[in-house]
Structure 1
Amino acid sequence: MQIISATTKFGLALRWRPPSRTLIIPPLYRPRPILYVPSRRRFNSTSDSESSPSFTDPNRPDLHYHLVNPPTPLSKDAPAFALSFVVESPSRSTVLGWLPAATTGNDHEAGLNDFVENPEFRTLLHQAIQDGLREKVDDVQIGGAIQLGNGWMHIHDERNVPALGRIGDPDDIIATVLVEDGEIRAETYQAMPSYRICTSDGPTQLTPGLAQKLKTMLHGQGRAKSERG
């Protein structure tokens, strides 16, 4: 590296060296899943809405949007999108919630603040998670219990996992369960009332084993509805 020396009229020696190359490490960026808001569409007739009744979220392959004709839980006159983890047309209890669909004469774009939760889905969600913990279907939760050893363990939503040793946001803590000697006591499962099905980070996202358990239960609900006619 070249060093240039110079002497001022006061006899002071000055030295200049070119700045060395410094590796700049950008701050850690962790992309978070967000709720995909369907593009604006105009629905003027039943035939138009039936031409594309459902589609998959491009950011969440497990999440599907189903067009529901009015009346809906949101409006007597306007269609809505029912969000579900089920590909087929879902029964009401398997719907996470609803987003308004664009309608003629309405310039409002549907967004996160327009999401309306389905209370029936919350009941199924907690049942699936508790059953999954009892059946030991999820390696992530099993590993967390082993690491904890003894105490209460939070079941966090995967859409916003807290840093190691930190407590997650109340909106993202699905439930809490007692762990004894590294074993989850599923009978102590306590649902957290502060948990939200959908936040700015997106809708519910479970660890793989619990997600599969929930999906199986939702499909079972759909089959039961079909058999009842």
Structure 2
Amino acid sequence: MFAARAFGRQARVLPKWTQFRCVSTLEGSPYIYVFPNEQPSGTHVLSLLPSEPVNPDLAIGLATQLPPTTDTFKENPKFLNIVQDVLSEYAHEDPDAKSQAQVMVSVAGANLNSGGVLLTGRRGKRRGDDSSSGASGQGGAGSGGRGGWIHISDGRRPPDYGRISWPEDMFGSLEVDANGQFVGDNGNYQPSGTYRILTRDGIFGLSPFLREKLVRKLRELEK
């Protein structure tokens, strides 16, 4: 699912000092760069930044094989902290979040998305039915004219009709008032504390808007 893909090629007709290193990314996730890691040898560093050397504090994590699996990948908790900082600041500005907030408080929205679900990032395969992940069980339900909570999720495993994402796919939640507006300065963003970078259904993904904000933050920290 995540075989490394290389971009660029050495220009054989050019002088040696003008040649450049290939940059590899994960297939299906062209925004995730893969670099060989010297210590420990045989491992790979995954990063949202294409620059070398990779700052380990800013990397997504380490993989002992490609494609990475849940058994061969170690996520970087410092990276997750940065992600949550960015979401706390910008999640309520995401066009997807704004749209979902309006849908949730409408009568039609209450019928279509009783769980107040917000999906971001790539579309993945759908999970099977699981009553334990229903909106009523997660406390994330919203309905027409009442407000509630919408959930920012990875989107690698879209929930079924009327459901919310599984905990391992959920970044956090935003509070919406009865008019479809976010509560407080940042929608009272609440981290879920349960998100996992890699699951059997896929690897880390955000909406284009939020990913751009995250990459910008990482570049600032890199400097």
TM-score bracket relative to the smaller structure: 0.5 to 0.7
Q: Which of 138, 141, 144 matches 2:100?
A: 144
Match of 1:131 among 89, 103, 107: 89
1:66-111 Cα deviation digits (max 9, x unpaired): 11211xxxx4xx2421111111123222211100259xxxxxx964
Cα contact 2:34–2:44 (8 A) shared by 1: yes
Contact 1:80–1:99 (Cα < 8 Å) also in 2: yes
1:197 positional shift: 1.0
Query: In the alignment, residue 61 of structure 1 is paired with which amino acid?
Result: P
Unaligned runs of 5+ in 2: 6-19, 106-146
Kindly indicate whether the alpha-carbon contact (under 8 Å) linking 2:69 and 2:200 is maintained by their aligned counterparts in 1: no
Tell me: CA distance 1:217–1:127, structure 2 relative to 1, closer, same or farther (3 Å).
same
**Match of residue 182 from structure 2:** 184
Residue equivalent to 1:69:
38
Letter in 2 for 1:177: L
Contact 1:155 1:175 in 2 (8 A): yes
Check the 8 A contact 2:148/2:175 in 1, yes or no: yes
Q: Distance in 2 between matches of 1:176 and 1:182?
A: 14
Question: Would you say 1:210 and 2:202 are equivalent positions?
Answer: no
Query: Number of residue pairs matched?
Result: 164
Q: 5 Å matches for 1:58-97? A: 58-70=27-39, 75=40, 78-89=41-52, 90-97=54-61
Contact 1:152 1:176 survives alignment (8 Å): yes
8 A Cα contact 2:171 2:192, kept in partner? yes
CA distance in 2 between counterparts of 1:184 and 1:92 reads 35
How far the C-alpha of 1:164 sits from its partner, in A, is 3.9
Contact 1:153 1:176 (8 Å CA) reproduced: yes
Task: Return 5+ residue gaps in structure 1 as ranges.
Answer: 1-33, 40-50, 103-108, 224-229
Q: Is the 8 A contact 2:86 2:217 kept in 1?
A: yes
Aligned-pair CA distance for 1:121: 0.3
Q: Which amino acid aligns with 1:192?
A: S
Task: Give me the whole-angstrom Cα distance separating, in 2, the residues matched to 1:110 and 1:144.
Answer: 32
Matched residue SS, 1:183 = coil
Within the candidate set 165, 172, 176, 1:175 is matched to: 172
Question: 1:160 offset after TM fit, Å?
Answer: 1.6
Deviation at 1:156, TM superposition (A): 0.9
Map of 2:113 onto structure 1: none
Distance across 2 between alignment mates of 1:122 and 1:178: 21
Aligned partner of residue 82 in structure 2, secondary structure? helix
CA–CA separation in structure 2 for the residues paired with 1:53 and 1:101: 19
How far is 1:54 from its partner?
A: 4.3
Alpha-carbon RMSD across the aligned residues, in angstroms, is 2.4
1:162 is matched with which residue? 159
Residues 146 and 182 of structure 1 are in contact (CA less than 8 Å); yes or no, is this contact kept in structure 2? yes
The whole-number CA distance in structure 1 between the counterparts of 2:160 and 2:205 is 17
User: Is the 2:60–2:75 contact (alpha carbons within 8 Å) kept by the matching residues of 1?
Assistant: yes
The 3-state SS of whatever aligns with 1:143 is helix
Q: Which has the larger radius of gyration?
A: 1
Contact 1:170 1:195 in 2 (8 A): yes
For normalisation by structure 2, the TM-score amounts to 0.66
